[in-house]
Amino acid sequence: MSVATPARTPHSDVPTGRKPVTGHVGAGLFDPKQLLRSFPDAVHKLDPRAMVRSPVMFVVLVGSVLTTVFAVLDPTDWFGWAIAAWLWLTTIFANLAEAVAEGRGKAQADTLRKARTDTVARRLDPAGAEERVAGTDLRIGDLVVCEAGDVIPGDGDVVEGVASVDESAITGESAPVIRESGGDRSAVTGGTKVLSDRIVVRITTKPGETFIDRMISLVEGAARQKTPNEIALNILLASLTIVFLLAVVTLQPFATYAGAPQSMIVLIALLVCLIPTTIGALLSAIGIAGMDRLVQRNVLAMSGRAVEAAGDVSTLLLDKTGTITLGNRRAAEFVPVRGVTAAELADAAQLSSLADETPEGRSVVVLAKERYGLRERHQGELSHAGWVPFTAQTRMSGVDVDGRKVRKGAAGSVAAWVREQGGTVAGDADGIADGIAAAGGTPLLVAVHDAGGARVLGVVHLKDVVKDGMRERFAELRRMGIRTVMITGDNPLTAKAIAEEAGVDDYLAEATPEDKMALIKREQAGGGLVAMTGDGTNDAPALAQADVGVAMNTGTSAAKEAGNMVDLDSDPTKLIEIVGIGKQLLITRGALTTFSIANDVAKYFAIIPAMFAVVYPGLDKLNIMQLSSPESAILSAVVFNALIIVALVPLALRGVRYRPTSADRMLRRNLGIYGLGGLAAPFIGIKLIDLLISLIPGIG
């Protein structure tokens, strides 16, 4: 996944083979049982110290208290008691929306707590001797030994050995994974279990700050900070609340002058119905639910800010191998130079690949067997041979046997080897290699040094296949206004061919960590937000610089610390889903804000005519719903104001469906559905409630 050097070898980019899984802690969507379980928490949230964080709902709470006091002073006033009761229900329903969202997080946290166990660690002292200590006594930098059957006592990096690890408690993936020292698969998580072999782990976190501890804290919502967009919306709602509060306060002198003074209960009811209570009640639940949807997909967001930023991303950086392509390049063709037969090239390529245990090397052996009928040979059959294994330094593999030397590897390395042996490179070898690279493949030269001297026999064409549906997904991102950039260590010719086949907007070839950082800074300098994935230590600077940095769980601790999201499935393509979830969060917030403000306009037509129709009969023309009485009109509006919050809880938790489209079309759609819907719903709902109230003897 990560790019260690500008010139990536054909064999160096081997994927982990992990498959994405469904979220193991994902809660189902809204259901009535969740309301019942969350109701006690909603009542506990009536504490004014908690309510004051939402100015809109704090005003409703104060109004509930005042109407209750006035109702107590006049116990025979059924209208006062009814208004007081429904204002309290409005406040509780608002808390219920947040309690349901938090309740889902608590259920997820309970699942995670099962993975957190108090373990005994086998710590190594400076002399190398083992001592048994409690896992809570470990400190950063301690070395611990873990063998088959041991639970890893804390987060850290493998510094010695290789082992198979069961991470199902964290990721939900039943298949074990390999963790080894060095490279990008060295990070281990406390609470996971070693299945085989022995490793030495260097602890990288303090007790209580492990990955599982942070996950529990985050999914419970304790560390969820308000995002800039959410803070701005809260300021807007607070401003509207102040404006309507002043309007209602100044209304009473005018009403008294007109000879129609209003009771405090009516004025409080008017205030509650005019301020944007619907979005004020659901705002926190929308934010929590956005993070919850990520957790359901096995993505841990370190903050709500990261989720929101994902919705505003303008540039997406995607690694080629394993993300855009399948990752395991396979031999597709043997292309001999002039004067050499394809069978001769296939025989030499197979022989030189017997010591190459990479997927590419294995595919060469298989292709030679299947296409040219060559028997699959093994190293054991050539015990007298001198094997040359592939290394990142030589970028070649081969064998010295029966008086000849055979080599296969990167074009530059093999060509240099031929010249060192006193031979020459065939004139058409470079042209064949360039043609393969231009077509998006990877060329491997095959050469031999025998009695005829050193010479190149031909080229093996390795092909990395673009995943199905990638072009369509990139086209979808383009409709969302997101620019996609493919990051690869391949040469520019190969990168260009793959980019054209996949349909990405741009590419960065022979990428180094510095190149990635420079690209991100350029995009951000233009006012854009950038998202990227990474798993290696050398990805950490870019992950930290990106607005949305998604670190793979299989990656190093440095990468996970640098990013603001961690994908527990280590699936790089999930970045596309994350962007969709971020946009869904922003759209849901915008849609419900539109609905809430439209609601207020409609409720205005229910209450204002009812307040002054007796003094100004002409206002009865505004009573377009033909409500039965002033008391019924006001009470119906208050009841509707409370019930609409409960009705919208499922939508706030599930999110408004997102369709990739332009901003203009999205705005028109939201205004059409949630704007007009917000205007129409109160007229229908308030009228139905009024009809029911009018049937009650002594009220209608």
Which residues are annotated as catalytic? 319
Flag whether 657 is marked binding.
Answer: no
Flag whether 479 is marked binding.
Answer: no
Handedness of CA 362, 364, 365, 371 (dihedral sign): positive
What does the DSSP assignment read for 291-333? HHHHHHTTEEES-HHHHHHHHT--EEEEETBTTTB-S--EEEE
Side-chain half-sphere exposure of 335, counting CA atoms within 13 A: 22
CA distance 31 to 37: 10
The structure tokens listed for 186 are 């060295």
Flag whether 473 is marked binding.
Answer: no
φ, ψ (nearest 5 deg) of residue 508:
-125, 110
The structure tokens listed for 382 are 């050539």
Flag whether 68 is marked binding.
Answer: no
Name residue 449's amino acid. Answer: H
Flag whether 239 is marked binding.
Answer: no
Cβ-count burial 584-596 (b if 16+ within 10 Å, e if not): bbbbbbbbbbbbb
Q: What is the 3-state secondary structure (H, E, C) of 395-423?
A: CEEEEEECCEEEEEEEHHHHHHHHHHCCC
What does the DSSP assignment read for 494-508? HHHHHHHHHT-SEEE
User: Which one, of 345, 421, 355, lies nearest residue 385 by Cα?
Assistant: 355
Flag whether 397 is marked binding.
Answer: yes
**Residue 443 bridge partners (DSSP):** 461
Flag whether 515 is marked binding.
Answer: no
Q: Give 146's contacts (C-beta < 8 A, 6+ positions apart).
A: 122, 152, 153, 163, 194, 198, 199, 200, 201
Contact (CB, 8 A) for 3 and 317:
no
Flag whether 522 is marked binding.
Answer: no
Flag whether 262 is marked binding.
Answer: no
Flag whether 395 is marked binding.
Answer: yes
Flag whether 535 is marked binding.
Answer: yes
Flag whether 164 is marked binding.
Answer: no
CA distance 56 to 243: 12
Flag whether 516 is marked binding.
Answer: no
CA distance 508 to 126: 45
Question: What are the CA-CA distances from residue 323 to residues 446, 504, 511 (Å)?
Answer: 29, 12, 16
Handedness of CA 589, 591, 594, 599 (dihedral sign): negative
* Binding-site residues for Mg(2+): 535, 539
* Binding-site residues for ATP: 356, 360, 390-397, 408
* Binding-site residues: 356, 360, 390-397, 408, 535, 539
